Amino acid sequence: MQKKFIVIFLVLSSLQSVSQKLPKLGKISKEHFEVTSPLLDSSPDAVVLFDIGSLKIEYNQSSGWGATLEKRVAIKILNEDGLRYATQIIKTNDQLVFKEKVSSVKGYTYPTKGAKPTKLNKYEMMTEEKITSQITLQNFDFPDVQVGSIIEFKYAITSDNLINPGSWEFQKEIPVLYSEFTTEIPQFFQYITLIRGDIQLLKNENEVLSESIRLTERQRLLQANINTQTISNPEYRYNVNKQKLFASELPALKVENQDYTRDDQLSIDFELQITNYPVEEVDYRSNWTVFNKYFLDNPNFGLAISQAGDIINIDGNSKEDQIESAFNQVKENVRWNGFNDIYTENTLRRAFNKGTGNTADINLLLVAALSKNGHNAYPVLLSTKENGEIKKFLPVTMQFNYVICAVEFKDTLIFLDASEKSNAFGELSDKCMIEEGWMVTPEGGKWVKLASF
């Protein structure tokens, strides 16, 4: 089935303009308890009354540029099974070079219509669970929730990751009556924006704001060199492009369908293409060669492989025996922790010593072990079946969610996935049965057809 998607580089095309007036935080009205919609005819467990988000790229005088993703949502519980939504989980992911932090947490429980809401703060409603060295789950628990109750909460995630600063899911596993997402992007940043799903988004506003940065003496000298500011002016003014997108009456996702993929979900993802500062322009994603170099230079990918050192001693007289030996040693000694990723959580040596890691830890360890022992081995980036199709005209990391190992043998490539214990040598699991993947190589990388397809 052909999936629909929209790719946007600068400004979205003109769309219909309608939006919704929302209550202030903590001021859910009686009307929200009496909400009606054709979406409720199918008796869902719960319904999202509204889901409001924003993504801002802002400058901090002490720490520099950063991203803030804010979210506010209200959910009505419709039956006993819907009580599971009284616990909300937020995942943060800290890589070696990027950090995420949850803040500004507030929540309200509205037990019944007309009852006084229970106000909660971060310390009353949130517990933290460290899943891996990089992944932390923030669990938000709402008390006094019963069938018919409404929960409302807000939070912010701040990050220094400007490459992939955030995403937004308009559609969920339960119906959404209204979803709104606003972006504020300074003129220095050009993002590739990928919208998935078959439902049309509406645009409410598109305006240009004015902000300023207070320059240091060194920054002013750089500005003076290109005649954009006089050396006596301590401020540099710039424009911020603000845009609001929204959708309403969104049906629940049919994730139980066998052919369901992320392309079916109305969502929006961002990836940095170019930074165009007054003193320099940096290209991040203009073509696949630039894309490939990003992975070679990434400390959680290419550098993790090249800096791994001697970790595994490979046995076997023939090339095939050596490759199979490395595959079996990694598969037997490093257990998959349940997380698929294209970036490592740890150094590869630490993953081996701990005996656990995500898919990247495991399969990049295999690449490193084979390479160190004289084999031509490379990582191959994939988009698994449930993640959706790869758009080959779009060189962005947000299309990929999995990485395997490819190793040259005679005149062909052997594809290996040591993260799945059930995988035999040279076989891939069903989720990896896709047509092509991107093989990251020092020569610039290339598309490769998977032998198991």
Evaluate if residue 249 carries a pLDDT over 50: yes
Place of tokens 């073509």: 287
Evaluate if residue 241 carries a pLDDT over 90: yes
Residues in the chain: 453
Q: Are residues 60 and 200 in the same domain?
A: yes
Q: Are residues 69 and 186 in the same domain?
A: yes
Q: Are residues 261 and 313 in the same domain?
A: no
pLDDT (0 to 100) of residue 224: 45
Q: Are residues 47 and 124 in the same domain?
A: yes
In this structure, the strands spanning 335-336 and 235-250 are unpaired
- Reference 205, options 7, 14, 10; nearest CA is 14
pLDDT (0 to 100) of residue 378: 98
Q: What is the mean pLDDT of residues 7-27?
A: 57
Give me the domain span that covers residue 159.
5-283
Beta carbons of 416 and 424 less than 8 angstroms apart:
no
Q: Are residues 108 and 232 in the same domain?
A: yes
Beta carbons of 263 and 196 less than 8 angstroms apart:
yes
Q: What is the mean pLDDT of residues 52-77?
A: 93
Q: What is the mean pLDDT of residues 416-430?
A: 92
pLDDT (0 to 100) of residue 96: 65
pLDDT (0 to 100) of residue 11: 34
pLDDT (0 to 100) of residue 60: 85
Q: Are residues 347 and 221 in the same domain?
A: no
Phi–psi pair at 51, nearest 5 degrees: -140, 105
Q: Are residues 355 and 241 in the same domain?
A: no
Span 154-197, pLDDT tens digits: 999 999 999 999 999 999 999 999 999 999 999 999 999 999 99
Least confident of 78-92, 227-241, 344-358: 227-241
Phi–psi pair at 405, nearest 5 degrees: -110, 140
| Continuous segment of H or E residues that includes residue 31 | helix 30-33
Query: Which is more confident, 430 or 133?
Result: 430
pLDDT (0 to 100) of residue 40: 93
Task: Provide the number of structural domains found in the chain.
Answer: 2
- Reference 150, options 35, 277, 293; nearest CA is 35
Distance CA 123, CA 126 (A): 6
Kindly provide the residue ranges of all beta strands, DSSP E only, lying in 187-301, ordered along the sequence: 189-196, 202-214, 235-250, 267-276, 281-283
Distance CA 349, CA 89 (A): 31
CB neighbourhood size of 239 (10 A): 13
Distances (CA, A) of 393 to 95, 216, 337, 396, 440: 28, 40, 33, 9, 17
Please state, for a pLDDT cut of 70, what percent of the chain lies above it: 90
Report the predicted TM-score, pTM, of the whole model to 2 decimal places: 0.82
- Reference 75, options 179, 200, 158; nearest CA is 179
Q: Are residues 253 and 109 in the same domain?
A: yes
Q: Residue 17: inside a domain, yes or no?
A: yes
* Residue where one domain finishes, among candidates 228, 260, 283: 283
Mean pLDDT of the residues in the chain: 87
Q: Residue 290: inside a domain, yes or no?
A: no
Q: What's the CATH number where 354 sits? A: 3.10.620.30
Evaluate if residue 10 carries a pLDDT over 70: no
Q: Are residues 380 and 270 in the same domain?
A: no
* Residue where one domain finishes, among candidates 262, 283, 304: 283
Q: What's the CATH number where 232 sits? A: 2.60.40.3140
